[in-house]
Amino acid sequence: MEKIVQPLLKWFETHQRELPWRKDRQPYHVWVSEIMLQQTRIEAVKKYYARFMEELPDVESLSLVSEDRLLKLWEGLGYYSRAKNLKKAAQMIMAEYHGVFPDSYEKIIKLSGIGEYTAGAIASVCFNEKVTAVDGNVLRVMARLSGSKENVLLPQTKEKFKKELQKILPEQSGKFNEALMELGETVCLPNGSPLCRECPLLEYCVSYRDKLTGEIPVRIKDIRRKKEEKTILILSCNGRIAIEKRLQKGLLSGMYQFPNTEGFCTEEALKAKLQPLKISFLGKAKHIFSHIEWYMQGYFLEIAEPSEKYLWVTPQELTEQYALPTAFQPFWKKCHSLPDSFIK
Per DSSP, which regions of the chain are E strands? 226-237, 240-245, 256-257, 260-262, 278-288, 292-302, 311-313
CA distance 287 to 106: 37
Exposed/middle/buried for residue 186 (C-beta within 10 Å: 0-12, 13-18, 19+): middle
Residue 256, class by beta-carbon neighbours within 10 Å (0-12 exposed, 13-18 middle, 19+ buried)?
buried
In 224-339, the DSSP E strands lie at 226-237, 240-245, 256-257, 260-262, 278-288, 292-302, 311-313
Peptide bond into 306 cis (omega under 30): no
* Sign (positive or negative) of CA dihedral 272, 273, 277, 281: negative
- Judged by DSSP in three states, 249 sits in coil
Coil, strand or helix: which one is 321? helix
Q: What are phi and psi of 303, to 5 degrees?
A: -120, 160
Q: DSSP string of 165-214?
A: HHHH--S-HHHHHHHHHHHHHHTS-STT---GGG-TTGGG-HHHHTT-TT
Q: Enumerate the β-bridge partners of residue 281.
A: 299
151 DSSP assignment: B
Exposure letters 121-142 (e unless 16+ CB within 10 A, then b): bbbbbbbebebbbbbbbbbbbb
Catalytic residues: 34
